Amino acid sequence: MTVTTDPPKESFRLGMLIYDTRYRAMTIQVVAMFGFMLLLGWLVSNTIRNLDALGKGIDFGFLWEPAGYDINQHLIEYNSQMPHIRAAAIGLMNTLLVAFMGCVLATILGVVIGVLRLSRNWLVAKLMTVYVEGFRNVPVLLWIVFFMAILIETLPAPRDFRSGEATMFLGDMVAFTNRGFYIPEPKFTAGLGDVSVFNGAFAVSLDLIAFLLTLGAGILIARLVKLRADRIQEATGDRPTTWYLELGFVFLPAIVLLWVLGFYLEPPALKGFNFKGGIHMRNSLIALWLALSFYTAAFIAEIVRGGILAVPKGQTEASYALGLRPNLTMRLVILPQALRVIIPPLISNYLNLTKNSSLAIAVGYMDITGTLGGITLNQTGRELECILLLMLCYLTISLLISAVMNWYNSHVKLVER
């Protein structure tokens, strides 16, 4: 009788970390990581020692010292006696403002131009081609300066409104001047006020928080109503009409809240040599916004065009065979399938637009680079701290944009069986 036994298992030896292919890759990675950490630690330690020798040890206490400079465009209250951290926060808000406005406008323009580039009308297609090639082959800095010059040279001065040579728009609520745009400012007669945080460095509007919470709750309830309608449709084949419920849950509570808080719009008025009241959107903000939007829209248009061309022509022919018109075919059939190709490169363009906003200093718009990375850095002499904070701000913004867009991409991509 023959008895078969398994061969004895080889015991682990240290030499296997180098000569055994099962462990060699892991050994190399561990050694490389250890070496990188040693190099990084040496660089940080050497930097700290050199700074201490110069009497400039790392210290972020300067953020609570008075800034001593003014910011021409700010969303919250600010004066020169407020700390550097508030000036940096206002610069960050200005960066987020122009980035958000730019992404919205660039997306709308890019989608429209990308679709029109595929138009069967020869003239329309060629005009869109000229737009794309013209904007994306000229540095964005030149477009920023160009738009700034156009706004300054072509729009009327405030004195022209007094003489009657220029008029306001929308029932004397909006004024376009060579000093900027003046629009109505939202006000509350029975507002909840503000709350101070970080030792008074920041003030958070309770009215805005209440409005956002109410609007968010309404959107959530409207989403639940839509999901319920989807379940009913899947179970019975009939979809209940819910659009009025969704709109009601979204807007009605917010409107009621605004009425309770006494919401009204304060229009700008010409007093003296300039307009007073309302919200002043300076030419620097408008020029930066338009330049970044039109420049980025040229790249988004090419992304949209490529995404549409990636959808098989059979999809278009099938939709036409079902009786769908071209506009419905594009909106319901082509674009939803093209999104899986459009979204990934679209994220990169959003990130580029946000980072290109750092060129705002060319037209005097005080973003985070102009405040924290500019005046604050020069006044305090804290180069390392300011640059580290500036890099952290841009890194955080970029990661948030990537996270949101990747989440959206995961929800619109095709589900493969």
What is the SS3 string spanning 229-279? HHHHHHHHCCCCCCHHHHHHHHHHHHHHHHHHCCEEEECCEEECCEEECCE
Question: Tens-digit pLDDT profile for the chain (417 aa)?
Answer: 555 555 556 676 767 777 777 777 788 888 889 999 999 888 888 887 887 787 777 778 888 888 888 888 888 788 888 888 888 989 999 999 999 999 999 999 999 999 899 888 899 999 999 999 999 999 999 999 999 999 999 888 888 888 888 888 888 888 888 888 888 988 888 766 666 655 555 566 777 788 888 988 989 998 898 888 888 888 887 878 888 888 888 889 888 888 888 888 888 888 877 888 888 888 999 999 999 999 999 999 999 999 888 888 888 888 888 888 877 888 788 888 888 888 888 989 999 999 999 998 888 899 999 898 889 988 888 888 899 999 999 999 999 998 988 888 777 665 555
Cβ neighbors of 152 (< 8 A, separation 6 or more) are 178, 283
What's the maximum distance between 2 C-alpha atoms anywhere in the chain? 118
The DSSP letter of residue 165 is: S
Using the Cα atoms of residue 221, residue 224, residue 228 and residue 233 in order, give the sign of their dihedral: positive
Closest among 103, 55, 285 to 183, alpha carbons compared: 285
Report d(CA 48, CA 123) in Å as an integer: 63
Over its C-alpha atoms, the chain yields an Rg (Å, rounded) of: 29
The DSSP letter of residue 189 is: S
Closest among 213, 308, 216, 211 to 258, alpha carbons compared: 211
Show me where the domains of the chain are located. Answer: 62-184+267-412
Cβ neighbors of 288 (< 8 A, separation 6 or more) are 98, 144, 147, 357, 359, 360, 363, 365
- In the numeric block, which tokens belong to residue 340? 């899986």
What kind of fold does domain 62-184+267-412 have according to CATH?
MetI-like fold (1.10.3720)
